[in-house]
């Protein structure tokens, strides 16, 4: 998996602005693979200017074309790329600190409701509005101007984006409000949403804003077992369901469940189930995990 956040923050060839841990940029597609796994330790917003891509998470997939805007929670996703037309987008990686500061300034201005379902998504398409359309056009002027704007203007423009999103989508407003009430992302929600990606433990720790040692300690406390054992169990459980309910070939299925390769997946699956993935699929019976 590639760290999308670090790629855009550290690469020299992107047209971008950096404000602390927040990054916004305009870029043409830097990835050359038809399918790529990426992750980010920050929530981010994608607005497509041209071309087409598909973002896929454990909860669904979104096909983005010119004019589409997608809000993605911190975590991993699979991106399918198309090369018929040049892909260009605006990206906004928003730090939790900037979200908290923006919402603090909105108290009494915009109603921010609590919602028990606010966290139950990995990505959601942002509703279009004339305000958002004008916002993205205004950002293009900053990106394409030879002179960089002052940091104060960048901060105001990023906060303007957040206010636009909160105003247009109450669910996202409730999520952002809930986000700032906790000091760290929920370890349980982060793991349930990202177990099927081939991330290292250090990368899972980044997603949950913990050091590796804190991540391991908190994980043991919540799940009563090591991350390695839990991840293998969850991935094999997910693989069994996909074998029975999809027509994906074994190589693709192994990738979709977070295994390094098909041979590793097949060995682990047979050791657990007593059958190879192909033999198990032929039985069409649901296992008890």
Say if residues 55 and 46 touch (Cβ distance below 8 Å). Answer: yes
Q: pLDDT, tens digit, for every residue of 196-225?
A: 999 999 999 999 999 999 999 999 999 999
Average pLDDT, the chain: 89
How many angstroms separate the Cα of 254 from the Cα of each of 35, 149, 185, 211, 263? 14, 46, 28, 28, 9
Residue 163's φ and ψ, nearest 5 degrees, are: -65, -40
Taking CA atoms, 110 is separated from 100, 134, 177, 184, in Å, by 14, 21, 11, 24
pLDDT at 265 over 80: yes
Whose tokens are 């971008």? That residue is 16
- Indicate the length of the chain as a whole number: 289
pLDDT at 286 over 60: no
- The larger pLDDT score, comparing residue 198 to residue 35, is at 198
Listed in sequence order, the residues at least 6 apart from 110 whose beta carbon sits closer than 8 Å to its beta carbon are 163, 166, 167, 173
Domains of the chain as residue ranges with CATH:
2-179 (2.60.120.810), 184-289 (1.10.10.60)
């Amino acid at each position: 998996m590639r760290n999308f956040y670090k790629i855009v923050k550290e690469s020299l060839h992107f047209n971008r602005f950096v404000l602390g841990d927040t990054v916004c940029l305009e870029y043409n597609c830097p990835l050359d693979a038809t399918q790529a796994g990426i992750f980010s330790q920050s929530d981010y917003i994608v607005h497509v200017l041209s071309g087409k891509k598909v973002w896929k998470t454990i909860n669904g997939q979104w096909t983005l074309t010119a004019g589409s805007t997608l809000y993605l929670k911190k975590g991993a996703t699979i991106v399918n790329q198309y090369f018929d037309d040049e892909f260009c987008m605006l990206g906004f990686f928003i730090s939790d600190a900037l979200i908290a500061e923006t919402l603090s300034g909105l108290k009494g201005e915009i109603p921010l409701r609590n919602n028990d379902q606010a966290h139950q998504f990995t990505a959601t398409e942002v509703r279009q509005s004339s305000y958002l359309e004008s916002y993205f056009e205004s950002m293009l002027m900053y990106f394409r101007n030879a002179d960089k704007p002052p940091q104060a203007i960048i901060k105001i423009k990023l906060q303007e984006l957040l206010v636009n999103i909160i105003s247009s989508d109450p669910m996202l407003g409730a999520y952002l409000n809930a986000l700032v009430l906790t000091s760290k992302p929920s370890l349980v929600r982060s793991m349930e949403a990202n177990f099927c990606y081939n991330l290292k433990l250090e990368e899972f720790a980044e997603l949950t804003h913990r050091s590796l040692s804190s991540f391991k300690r908190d994980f043991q406390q919540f799940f009563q077992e090591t991350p390695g054992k839990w991840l293998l169990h969850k991935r094999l459980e997910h693989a069994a369901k996909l074998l029975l309910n999809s027509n994906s070939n074994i190589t693709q299925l192994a990738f979709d469940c977070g295994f390094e390769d098909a041979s590793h997946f097949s060995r682990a699956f047979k050791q657990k189930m007593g059958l190879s993935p192909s033999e198990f699929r032929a039985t069409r019976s649901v296992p008890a995990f």
